Amino acid sequence: MLDTRSLGLLLICWSVLGVVFNWSVVFFIKKLPNLNSSFGILTANQAIGDGIHSLFFLIYASPMIFFDNQIMMEYSSVCGFILLFSYDLSIMSHFLISCNRFCAVYFPIKYTIFFDKTKTYYGCLVVLIISILCPTVLYSVSCRFYYKKDLYMFIYSLEPLCQIFSYYIDFVKYMMIVISIVIIDLCTIFKVRSQRNKVARNINTLFIEKRIREMSFLRQTLFQGSIFVTELITYFIICPLTKNDLLRFWCSMFAWVFVHASDGKQNTYIFCCCVALLSLIFVIVIYAVPCVVYYDYNLHMFVYTNTQICQLFSYYLDFGKYITVVISIVIIDFATLYRVKSQQRKITVQLNSLFIEKRIRENSFLRQTIFQGVLFTTELITYFIISPKVKDDTIRLCCTLLAWVTVHASDGAVTLICNIEFRKFIESKIHKILLKMVFPVESTTVMGRVTAVT
């Protein structure tokens, strides 16, 4: 014979946890704008079912066992009706949540059609009606669900019809729903992961293409800069120092033609009207001095008029200007490359953060699905299959009442633990409470106003 007070106290403790966890979920969903959606409504509906179950265990079933109250036991079928109703409400809401996630992943375009807020409330109403009808049908044929003191568990009436009804309406129905939930959730997770891998591959391809473009741009910049600098050095510095006609030709005419032939291949459309106009003005200024550029047969190259002012013009307006422009181009191009790479690193970090956060959500959803599925399945097997074959009162208690209370208390705890929004909300509240404890604020009323004094 078990100690009913110890049993009642144990059930009270678990019921309190169930009430706290499940009604906290309902409260948090109202406070969190991110969960003001179809998914949030369904999660709240499930938490309400679990909360009602834990609440009636706390205010009726547990005190009934703790005080061994005969009157409460006589009317325990009323509590049994509410427990069956809340169990149906919880497990069918869980099924709707799985369907919600499945549609969001497989049919994202039609998701808002299937699960807008109005239809979600209608779905919750249908679940509510079914949850009420199922135990009502049982009670209408005198199959009541009541507490059996000798067995330490809630059971149906012992008539053969009631046993058949209880098996097919309860065990088979719940087991089919739980199996469907697990299958739907696993299909959803598989689809989410395959989509994530596909997106990751596409992003990697885009980054590879972008990196190839950047390397091509870098090679182009280095090559063009080297060609321009080499041409300027050979034309203005090496060429005047060279006495060999052939070498002078290569350092002047050939280098000049080669640099523009090489550059034009990739920069055909760089020049615009303003640049053309500016170039024309420079030439007109030089020729107005007059400093004419002409071909010297003896030197085998184009030269300026051999006057002092023309030589100064040719050096500062040509060599100085061009070398300054080329160096500026190289500096600007390198600055552009640096900026592009820094932005790319920033985007990569942001994408990695998004992928990590999404992976955490997927893993949390997977853990929640597996844990809740295992809990429901274990509770159904222990309650309907194992407990009727067990003679030991303690084991039967663990397989029935304790398992039943635990699965609903744990359902709310799993939802709080596995949901990132809930965790962040709880952490922020705890952080605020700790800050108030460390830095207490005393309020004093002065002249009808509240003044905070730290």
**Look-up of token digits 């049919």:** 107
Q: Which residues 6+ apart lie within 8 Å of 157 measured at CB?
A: 142, 143, 144, 146
Q: Give the model confidence (pLDDT) of 286-324 as tens digits.
A: 666 677 777 777 766 677 777 777 777 666 666 677 777
Share of the chain above pLDDT 70, in %: 69
- Cα radius of gyration (the chain): 41
**Residues 116, 104 contacting (CB under 8 angstroms):** no
Q: Which residues 6+ apart lie within 8 Å of 135 measured at CB?
A: 81, 84, 85, 88, 145
Domain boundaries, the chain: 4-187+364-453, 207-348
Q: Give the model confidence (pLDDT) of 339-386 as tens digits.
A: 777 776 776 666 666 666 666 666 666 677 677 777 888 888 888 788
Q: Give the model confidence (pLDDT) of 199-222 as tens digits.
A: 767 666 666 666 676 666 666 666
Predicted local distance difference test score (pLDDT) of residue 238: 67
Mean pLDDT is highest, among 276-285, 330-339, 346-355, for 330-339
- Cα gap 442→276, rounded to integer Å: 75
- In words, the CATH class of domain 4-187+364-453 is mainly alpha
Structure tokens at 261: 């032939």
Q: Is the pTM of this model over 0.75?
A: no
Distances (CA, A) of 399 to 16, 154, 225, 360, 388: 20, 12, 81, 33, 10
* Average confidence score pLDDT of the chain: 78
